[in-house]
């Protein structure tokens, strides 16, 4: 009789410990299992954009294939960019930073960033071919929101109008309630 509460406490403790271990290791187990099937937790098949745009499984599969190809092409450039940024950091750690070296480091970084950005933009233009007209309209709205947050839609603010916030600043000067 004296051992019964001790055994119960031991079993309860064991259950709690197993629960904690599964709580921390389960996401790793699931992600490895998904990776083994060729799926990841990222991409068009797992994206909320699939539901928002109403993509079919075939569309999501084709877009995911394009995304993976792009990432494979961009990876070496991103690695080179990391090395150039590391070189800039090491340059900045030195006592004197010659302007010529700083300019060379910054122009190399800017060139790589522009190349990577262009590759992503060209990819975005390429995947537009996979959409229906209704999906394309939604995609372009998401794309515009990502590139120009807070600018409003083109209908509410046609291109070419200037805001009252300063010369040469894009925006919409005729919005109701706008402070000029």
Complete domains list, the chain, with CATH = 13-42 (no CATH), 44-146 (1.20.120.1490)
- CA dist 130 and 177 (Å) reads 40
**Position 46 pLDDT exceeds 80:** no
With beta carbons less than 8 A apart as the criterion, state whether 112 and 84 touch.
yes
pLDDT at 108: 94
How do the residues of the chain divide into helix, strand and coil, expressed in percent and rounded to 5?
70, 0, 30
- Tokens encoding 56: 């079919």
pLDDT in tens, 64-104: 899 999 999 999 999 999 999 999 998 888 888 888 998 99
DSSP 67-90: HHHHHHHHHHHHHHHHHHHHHHHH
pLDDT at 153: 53
Read off the pLDDT of each residue in 31-39 and give the average, rounded to a whole number: 53
In the chain, the largest separation of any two C-alpha atoms, in whole Å, equals 88
Determine whether 57 is exposed, middle or buried from the number of CB atoms within 10 Å of its CB (0-12, 13-18, 19+): exposed
pLDDT at 166: 42
**Position 48 pLDDT exceeds 70:** yes
pLDDT in tens, 6-26: 777 777 777 777 776 776 776
- CA dist 131 and 102 (Å) reads 44
pLDDT at 29: 65
CA angle 70, 73, 79 (to 5 degrees): 120
**Position 50 pLDDT exceeds 70:** yes
pLDDT in tens, 140-180: 887 777 777 766 555 555 554 434 444 444 444 444 444 43
Residue 77: C-alpha distances to residues 43, 71, 84, 101, 115 (Å): 20, 10, 10, 21, 8
Mean pLDDT, all residues of the chain: 76
């Amino acid at each position: 009789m004296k051992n019964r509460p001790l055994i119960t406490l031991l079993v309860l403790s064991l259950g709690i410990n197993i629960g904690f271990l599964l709580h921390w290791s389960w996401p790793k187990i699931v992600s490895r299992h998904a990776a083994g099937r060729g799926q990841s937790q990222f991409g068009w098949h797992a994206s909320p954009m699939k539901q928002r745009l109403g993509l079919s499984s075939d569309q999501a599969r084709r877009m995911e294939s394009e995304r993976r190809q792009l990432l494979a092409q961009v990876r070496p450039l991103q690695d080179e960019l990391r090395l150039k940024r590391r070189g800039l950091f090491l340059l900045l750690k030195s006592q004197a930073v010659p302007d010529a070296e700083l300019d060379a480091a910054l122009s190399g970084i800017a060139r790589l960033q522009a190349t990577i950005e262009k590759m992503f933009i060209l990819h975005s233009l390429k995947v537009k071919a996979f959409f229906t007209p209704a999906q394309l309209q939604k995609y372009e709205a998401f794309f515009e929101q990502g590139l120009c947050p807070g600018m409003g839609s083109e209908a509410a603010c046609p291109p070419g109008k200037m805001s009252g916030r300063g010369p040469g600043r894009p925006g919409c000067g005729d919005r109701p309630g706008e402070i000029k």
